[in-house]
Structure 1
């Protein structure tokens, strides 16, 4: 019931889906090769410059773990290694890292279990967080009871209408309980002292409120349309503007040119107003929160929907394989949840130093 305090434990069943139907069911991550992620660079590399760029394929390591291993093996500081996004341990993932040029010969002799250097080149600047266009996913769904045609139908809907840009379970820790401790941090009741861990925990609360706001939009039928007071974002340029005339701007939203954003609350971001603000306040109130609770955070805006491309579904003996591209910051589990209609990855081990597919 709206107005009741809802659970802060992540649960897909509490989040409204875009598509209807029973879903295919199935199992993910029987082995690392079932979940393959390829980072898509933001820009072409120059082939020359003072920074060494290495494309690395890893299995059984988080990105942070690989950085620690490389720093020790190559004799550099961890902060000298640049990365565009964070990738999961429980997958086969390929991404670019930047390194000081002086380690080239040591890199050639590198031998780390589960880490393969695919190619090496040079560039003029260090790689920074967020310097990626997105990710290419190839994921095998095993033991699926539903048909491949079901999966293709859902993929077609997502390609046309957009993917609900939910934060996936990787954001909320094993068992989805990080937001509970994050709320204690916001209230000054937590015993956690590490500033980095405290930020991680409070970001889980931000994410939970965003997910609630997005779920309400889907429930109320305003996922692909706009409300007065929305802060909408242009998909081509990234420009953000306030919606004053939802009917006129709604035509652009229907064409997939613009989409509403949700607030990741913090001191640098204003809450929404008018009808959009009322919906946002409802999402906050569901957890007994107000915007001022997040004064310790900087804040940001996040698109409520993203568009996948180059999507495909291929039949396998015991299920199917899906492939698609998503822009950075989006979670593949949001796509898989729509197809499978299960509690996708909620019980999978989560990496606290890693937002998995999130690349946040």
Structure 2
């Protein structure tokens, strides 16, 4: 690390490594690390310019680092989430305690806190939500270094026993097997199916068929989120080393629970940050499965920077379901009209089936710079 550079420290192991290697914490950012067992170290090393974000420490150590000129953001008591977290969520974390009922899980408790504090208009709660979402974005950027990300968007109402759900799962598997990081909005329906497919990618093809059969027993998240989530967690437990994928859900739509098949969950309070963050990181393109208002919003949320070139070269957009996007919800004719005469015209496609998507993405990617 060059002189004067800062380093984010997000675990006790990283903390010990930095101290051992440099003998100093000066200028570093220490994020959500429990330092109550490192009092002697904190008393001995230079912490000038260090920022401690939500790091528990003994009172003596806290006084010393402040005297050094460190900036200390203390842990916030009685919150159902860590606003300073240094990593993305995992499904086992959000659904911890599910056996006692979904209402007892961190996912449900965070949603209840969000609903209560949003109604109160509490400025402190608003600040904490902002800190949390910024920390999630930072962790998301760290995760995606070197990854090529493809977004898969679609409706949350798609049932697990529908043929289209199985199709979305096969799509997620195919995209993951091609070396892409599959990213979804993180909810149920088509989003869950795509994350499931990516999870199944390292296994033999029959694994996905068995998982789909197991999931059909609880086809939706209503009336019981608990039963819906438990079936997914059971599939993961039976084959625990599935492929990675990303989901980007939000507590703004807290009635839609996060699906359990994405190994990395970037869950936000602010939906606008979540929407833009997901689309802007999908550098390999976005696939839009049949959906309703939310998916239409995502189509044109992605089309706008492609239209204006604000992200540079337009990125591929593939809409799946000719009848859906030309007749039921005619987004395709409008997208074509916007694209006419612009570079993005070479980066959009409409296909009938999910089986056509990988080839369409490859074809559209080949038009880059032409």
TM-score over 0.5 for the alignment?
no
**Structure 2 length-normalised TM:** 0.26
Greater percentage in strand: 1
| CA radius of gyration, larger in | 2
TM-score, scaled relative to structure 1? 0.27
The one of the two structures with greater contact order (alpha-carbon pairs below 8 A, sep at least 6) is 1
